[in-house]
Amino acid sequence: DAGVTQSPTHLIKTRGQHVTLRCSPISGHKSVSWYQQVLGQGPQFIFQYYEKEERGRGNFPDRFSARQFPNYSSELNVNALLLGDSALYLCASSLLAGNQPQHFGDGTRLSIL
Amino acid sequence: QKEVEQDPGPLSVPEGAIVSLNCTYSNSAFQYFMWYRQYSRKGPELLMYTYSSGNKEDGRFTAQVDKSSKYISLFIRDSQPSDSATYLCAMTSGSSGNTPLVFGKGTRLSVIA
């Protein structure tokens, strides 16, 4: 079975631009979460979606937004990119929300010039 | 004080050694504890998933949770060069709804042949 898939794998943008990252969860998983991982740090929670509804938001500015589609795939959007947004963006899926183990994709590496 | 503390290492051991990795945490609401392994340029891979206090063994890996001390450990027996990676501890309260994982910084492990 396919794991969590993310696209694109790498992206280079300039300050002020907008970016959309995509995630397809493991088949049958209904919850998707997004994390940001800066070099040398653990992942930081951005959003969790379950059944197309936002279930949680981390301490990130409103420039960050996300949505989940009827097929449970998800998009993360970041507006007005800053140099500090350079990071690995990880998507994780789980069967349900709640105390379910989360499985991660390999992420999208975003570089801001 | 960060919610989850993890010594970033690096930790270097000879092949065959027993490796001990540890995290401490401050939030007594955490009930679900995970260890992830992350290879360079890859997403975190779930190794162990445990609930509350106690031990769990899976092959060469043993996870221990001591909620009274707010301390979790991962032991790797007969370590192999292929175990060289960054090990991330993660935890969550697991309540229904918003259940973000809170990660440590990760410990970088090198197993030398």
Residue A49's Cβ-side half-sphere holds a number of Cα atoms within 13 Å equal to: 25
- pLDDT-above-90 percentage for chain B: 83
The minimum CA-CA distance between B15 and chain A, rounded to whole Å, is: 25
Are the CB atoms for B32 and B95 separated by under 8 Å? Answer: no
Termini Cα distance of chain B: 37
> Is B61 an 8 Å CB contact of chain A?
no
Residue B74's Cβ-side half-sphere holds a number of Cα atoms within 13 Å equal to: 29
Are the CB atoms for A81 and A16 separated by under 8 Å? Answer: yes
Preceding amide of B10 cis, omega within 30:
yes
- Residue B20 banded pLDDT, cuts 50, 70, 90: very high
pLDDT over 80 (residue B1)? no
pLDDT attached to residue A96:
80
pLDDT attached to residue B95:
63
pLDDT digits (tens, 9 = 90+) for B72-95: 999 999 999 999 999 999 999 876
Residues of B within 8 A of A102 (CB-CB) are 46, 101
pLDDT tens, position by position, for chain A (113 residues)?
679 999 999 999 999 999 999 999 999 999 999 999 999 999 999 999 999 999 999 999 999 999 999 999 999 999 999 999 999 999 999 988 776 789 999 999 999 99
Chain B residue at shortest CA distance from A51 = B97
Largest CA distance in chain B: 45
pLDDT attached to residue B98:
62
DSSP state, B83?
G
The residue among A73, A9, A81, A46 whose CA lies nearest residue B43 is A9
> Is B3 an 8 Å CB contact of chain A?
no
Chain A residue at shortest CA distance from B88 = A42
Residues of B within 8 A of A53 (CB-CB) are none
- Residue B97 banded pLDDT, cuts 50, 70, 90: low
pLDDT over 90 (residue B99)? no
- The C-alpha atoms of residue B11 and residue A103 are separated, in whole angstroms, by 26
Residues of B within 8 A of A51 (CB-CB) are none
Q: What is the mean pLDDT of chain B?
A: 93
- Residue B36 banded pLDDT, cuts 50, 70, 90: very high
Residues of A within 8 A of B97 (CB-CB) are 55-56, 97-98
